[in-house]
Amino acid sequence: MTLWQAIVLGLVQGLTEFLPISSTAHLRIVPALVGWADPGAAFTAVTQLGTLAAVLIYFARDIVAITRDALTGKGKLGWMICAGTIPVVVLGLACKSYIEHHWRSLYVIAAAMIGLALVLALAEWFERRRQKMREMNELGWLDAIVVGCFQAIALIPGSSRSGCTIAGGLFLGMKRDTAARFSFLLSLPAVLAAGLLELKELQHAANIGWTNTVVATVVAFLAGYASIAFLIGYLRRHTTWVFIFYRLVVGALLLAGLAAGKLQPL
């Protein structure tokens, strides 16, 4: 991997991590289109530490308040986030080899792009029929567990962590920006654990190098911070339909490219 490739992939990671279009999919699609090698699941997980830092800084005041309230017994959101993390941890450890190898096929990614688009469309359909949408302070333990299960589905490359959790939030009657905010906070423990777990794997990836990884992570942080601010502001006034259409188009183009032999599945 060259320094230029690291910058491009870091930018892709940061811009797509929080939008419901799947950063993992784009980190597979972009190299496939330009003839670069797949950076691998370890590289993806480590550069997510950059986007994790973006969440920590953007929501610093919320995180401090949530942690303080959890430790003093004044609030339960912190413990709800911990409970909601359990499904992704269990499934992530159980399916680690599939996530890192078999599920990185472009066929799987194309199917996940289209599949979650349909799930998001259904969630939007339900949202339009609700008379009242809930705020963050109205969420309970069941919300955390259900959205946590949706987050576990995002282990399938191409599905999108934010896309799955936002869809789960909409099904449960959350406002769009509330679903996005809860999605980002819920991602913190899982992304931190995955990034630290995969750091050791990069020692065996000689074609990437630590310098390139650090550069990509810093670029992902900068792009990720801007992406968070954009999405929360966007969802206060708009639906997720633009992302739904984007996912359907990209998924269809991937399948067409694979069928024509223009793209290699792995």
* Host domain of residue 178: 3-259
pLDDT of residue 210: 75
Inform me whether the pLDDT recorded for 24 exceeds 70.
Answer: yes
Span 67-125, pLDDT tens digits: 999 999 888 999 999 999 999 989 988 887 777 777 878 899 999 999 999 999 999 99
Residue 123 included in any domain: yes
Distance CA 82, CA 161 (A): 16
* Whole-number pLDDT of residue 67: 92
In a domain, 264, yes or no: no
Whether residue 253 lies inside any domain: the answer is yes
The top-scoring range by mean pLDDT among 38-47, 76-85, 126-135, 190-199 is: 76-85
21, 244 contact by CB (below 8 A)? no
What's the CA gap between 24 and 51, in Å, rounded? Answer: 13
**Per-residue confidence (pLDDT) for residue 87, from 0 to 100:** 93
In a domain, 119, yes or no: yes
Query: What integer pLDDT is reported at residue 51 of this predicted model?
Result: 87
What integer best gives the mean pLDDT of the chain?
A: 87
* Cβ(54)–Cβ(188) below 8 Å: no
So what's the pLDDT on residue 60? Answer: 93
In a domain, 182, yes or no: yes
Q: For the segment 202-228, what is each residue's pLDDT rounded down to a tens digit? A: 555 545 677 888 899 999 999 999 999
Mean pLDDT, residues 256-263 taken together = 88
Query: Would 265 be classed as within a structural domain?
Result: no
Q: How many domains does the chain have?
A: 1
- 266 in a structural domain: no
